[in-house]
């Protein structure tokens, strides 16, 4: 499998797939091989179909996860193995569109207050204040903080696109205090090896621990801070197009989901029953 794995990695590198896609596709092929106890190039299309049925019915993985597995296997067989005749898929299906949970002001204050470690608190504050994805916040460089323009540069966000987002005055003050204490050189939040950035899982763990300590029971991981950023901006009167640019959404439709989360707009909407002139 090592030679096949190396070839698959090269195939993905040539296509400039993200690191998360690399991990997802490799895991899909590895799990398939383990399931049958043989190298994946020996597994037939019918066996792949049987495996997809297994992960749906026996393991009960959700539809989007199975779609991801299927995409990884299709890439491996059609690109890495060049088996153009390979054909397997799962029927498309609409997945439930669940609205994300959003933290209110009191919950955010508690979250930051219980996080005593300065670095950890600044990581959470930066994620919320700039509306960053976890993969973006851990890769912010010192040179990305532009205090003159009060902006943060996000390099190679989702889709390998650069963008700018806002730099909060309060966050800038926190960042300066953090820099004086830690003196990071390249990465704003370096990992155990200073030349490398902090890993995503560490930032996720910091949020989960802080959320539990703050007594917040809402479901969701660190991405809740990004959802909260967008929702609070919308409630504050910022237009959707500006929020789209700050979040780095390719489509305005992705940003429009936050219209469903704005408490102030919902509270200001009267029920048609209240409009009836009936005593």
Indicate which residue of 30, 49, 141, 158 is catalytic. 158
Based on the residue annotation, tell me whether 133 is a catalytic residue of this protein: yes
State the DSSP string of 251-266: SHHHHHGGGGG-HHHH
Indicate which residue of 110, 211, 226, 232 is catalytic. 226
Based on the residue annotation, tell me whether 35 is a catalytic residue of this protein: no
211's tokens: 């959320």
Indicate which residue of 25, 51, 178, 258 is catalytic. 258
Based on the residue annotation, tell me whether 54 is a catalytic residue of this protein: no
42's tokens: 């020996």
What is the SS3 assignment for 163?
Answer: strand
CA–CA dist 76, 62 (Å, integer): 22
CA–CA dist 29, 49 (Å, integer): 13
Based on the residue annotation, tell me whether 119 is a catalytic residue of this protein: no
Question: What is Dmax (Cα atoms) for the chain?
Answer: 79
By CB atoms closer than 10 A (0-12, 13-18, 19+), residue 174 is middle
Indicate which residue of 110, 133, 139, 211 is catalytic. 133
In 3D, which of 265, 263, 264, 239 has the Cα closest to residue 252? 239
Indicate which residue of 5, 30, 119, 223 is catalytic. 223
Residue with tokens 């953090």: 178
Based on the residue annotation, tell me whether 258 is a catalytic residue of this protein: yes
What is the SS3 assignment for 165?
Answer: strand
Contact in structure between 235 and 262 (CB atoms under 8 Å): yes
Which residues are known to be catalytic?
Answer: 133, 158, 223, 226, 249, 258
């Amino acid at each position: 499998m090592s030679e096949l794995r190396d070839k698959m990695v090269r195939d993905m590198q040539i296509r400039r797939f993200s690191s998360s896609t690399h991990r997802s596709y490799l895991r899909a092929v590895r799990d398939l091989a383990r399931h049958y106890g043989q190298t994946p190039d020996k597994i037939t299309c019918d066996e792949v179909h049987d495996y997809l049925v297994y992960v749906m019915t026996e393991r009960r993985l959700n539809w989007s996860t199975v779609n991801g597995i299927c995409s990884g296997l299709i890439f491996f067989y059609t690109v890495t193995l060049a088996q153009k005749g390979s054909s397997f898929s799962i029927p498309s299906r609409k997945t439930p569109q669940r609205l994300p949970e959003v933290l209110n002001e009191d919950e955010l204050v508690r979250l930051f207050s219980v996080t005593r470690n300065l670095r950890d608190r600044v990581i959470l504050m930066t994620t919320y204040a700039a509306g960053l994805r976890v993969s973006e916040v851990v890769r912010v460089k010192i040179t990305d903080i532009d205090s003159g323009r009060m902006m943060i540069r996000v390099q190679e966000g989702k889709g390998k696109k650069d963008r700018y987002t806002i730099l909060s005055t309060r966050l800038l003050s926190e960042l300066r205090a953090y820099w004086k204490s830690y003196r990071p050189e390249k990465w704003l939040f370096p990992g155990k090896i200073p030349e490398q950035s902090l890993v995503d899982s560490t930032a996720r763990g910091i949020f989960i621990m802080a959320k539990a300590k703050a007594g917040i029971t809402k479901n969701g991981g660190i991405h809740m801070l990004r959802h909260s950023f967008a929702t609070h901006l919308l409630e504050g009167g910022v237009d959707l197009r500006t929020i789209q640019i700050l979040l780095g959404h390719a489509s305005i439709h992705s940003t429009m989901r936050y219209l469903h989360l704005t408490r102030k707009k919902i509270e200001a909407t009267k029920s048609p029953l209240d409009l009836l002139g009936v005593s």
